[in-house]
A and B are shown apart, each in its own frame.
Chain A
């Protein structure tokens, strides 16, 4: 029997801050280095995020002046939020902590030894023989990849339950002194959150099955996304080439993966896509020729809470399963994004064309006549965009009641 999803949960820290408040908090730092600070505010608005949930109250961040201080805060907050996510998933799946046999923990926003999964053992009352797999460094793609690892564990031990826990506290990686455009985009895009997915095989079926997975590595992409580790912590590497990479690769790789299962892209009913960022999602939609609204949940997640790195695709998965729209027999394609992975699960969204609400110049520049952007800084000015875009990820397919197969290999930025 294929591994299947037993339950999902997604949790957010309680400290919500709207985007305009965050812009105001950054404004003074921008003005120190950049001649036209107002231009930089456009970058924050361009990511289309309305606000973020933060691990700490906003005023606490100024106190965290060193990597050590930020990482200590990360360990405490990640442990608390991770506990909430696992407990919520167990409750929703009607399972007990003692049912968990394997715990996969993924993150890219903090360091801890013992790892967060170890710190949760006693707090959650997990069995001492639980097999733990902490994974650091996969980035956004770890959501889909972690699901694959959990499914692998269940295939090896079908009687057990595997838990995937993703905790990302991006706010605690912020480098105030880094005023590069990449960091300014990241500071406007990324938020904090945690998600847990429980996977089993010989348990009553509650969610989609994971029937096939694939990872794809893209050579020569080491500087597309990642961290430079500096004395102050994690300095973001975020190349504007990510959307181009998605456009160049995603369709061919997704189609090749689906072909191995005898499935066409048109048969995928649910695309569970990492939130990436506006450009990456547009590239994803275009490349896969997705119909309008196919990525609606991903866009909504991006706008409401920002990019949560590896947790994002799991938030979208939770939203889809809670909606009840996924029916027996549907095919889904989960996909995470970061340079080398994608996931396939099922669904299909699409994108609005040239209304350019994503435009960095903001909604006030939009034409009231045809919805196109009046700003020449908007790339939509000379092209009529129609069609969707997307980000990359790794696929998974499941069957009965659905099929979903996650496969991690993704490309995309935030």
Chain B
């Protein structure tokens, strides 16, 4: 089971390598207002995390997520079977 920091590292990698984000990613960054992700950007990030950690995120999960830290915690939780 990954810990949230491992997931956060993967989030930063996807943002940098696949979405071309050049700035540093902070745990408190809002995915939309701070990182400027549109729906395609968000889906690119989610697909990367689902493939890397073998989880499937649901719409209900997404409704609770706004920041990098919240997304990392959610993925870590799902990967742990919760």
Q: Which residues of A contact B (CB under 8 A)?
A: 33-36, 38-40, 42-43, 46, 180-181, 185, 223, 239-241, 243-244, 279, 358-361, 365, 374-379, 381-383
Complex interface: chain B residues within 8 A of A279 (CB): 38-40
Known contacts A34-B47, A240-B44; is-contact A379 B65 (Cβ 8 Å): no
B47 touches A40 (CB 8 A): yes
A191 CA / B70 CA spacing, docked (Å): 38
Number of A-B contacts (CB under 8 A): 87
Chain B stretch 1-28: residues in CB contact (< 8 A) with chain A: 18-20
Question: A240 and B65 in contact (CB under 8 A), knowing A35-B54, A36-B47, A377-B59?
Answer: no
Chain B hits for A35, CB < 8 A: 50-51, 54-56
10 inter-chain pairs at a CB distance below 8 angstroms, sorted by A residue, are: A34-B50, A36-B51, A181-B40, A241-B20, A360-B42, A360-B43, A361-B39, A377-B62, A379-B38, A382-B32
A360 pairs with B40, CB closer than 8 A: yes
A180 to B44, CA, bound (A): 9
- A46 in complex: contacting residue of B33, B43, B47, B59, CB < 8 Å: B43
A359 touching B39 by the CB < 8 A rule?
Answer: yes
Residues in A neighbouring B30, C-beta threshold 8 A: 382
Q: Which residues of B contact A (CB under 8 A)?
A: 18-20, 30, 32-33, 36-44, 46-47, 50-51, 54-57, 59, 62-66
Known: A240-B44, A376-B59. 16 other contacts (CB 8 A): A33-B51, A34-B50, A39-B46, A40-B47, A46-B40, A181-B43, A239-B20, A243-B38, A361-B39, A375-B59, A376-B64, A376-B65, A377-B59, A379-B32, A379-B38, A379-B42
Q: How far is the CB of A43 from chain B (nearest CB, A)?
A: 6
Contact B44 A181 (CB under 8 A): yes
Interface centre among A36, A244, A378 (most CB of B within 10 A): A36
Q: Quick check: A377 and B43 within 8 Å, CB to CB? A: yes
Q: Find chain B residues with CB under 8 A from A40 CB.
A: 47
Q: Which residue of A lies closest to B36 (CB)?
A: A244
Asked whether, in the complex, the Cβ of B50 is within 8 Å of the Cβ of A36, the reply is yes
Task: Tell me whether B62 and A43 are in contact (CB under 8 A).
Answer: no
Task: Collect the chain B residues with CB atoms within 8 Å of residue A375's CB.
Answer: 59, 62-63
Q: A379 near B46 (CB under 8 angstroms)?
A: no
> In the complex, A279→B39 CA distance in Å?
9
Q: Complex formed: what's the CA distance from A376 to B30 in Å?
A: 12
How long is the Cα–Cα vector from A153 to B45 in the complex, in angstroms? 47
A42 to B59, alpha carbons, bound, how many Å? 12
B47 touching A181, Cβ below 8 Å? yes
Specify which chain A residues have a CB less than 8 angstroms from the CB of B57 in the assembled complex.
36
Which 5 A-B pairs give the minimum distances between C-beta atoms?
A376-B62, A360-B39, A376-B63, A36-B56, A181-B44
Chain B residues whose CB sits within 8 angstroms of the CB of A34 once the complex forms = 47, 50-51
Q: How far is the CA of A181 from the CA of B40 in the complex (A)?
A: 9
CB distance from B69 to the nearest CB of A (A): 15
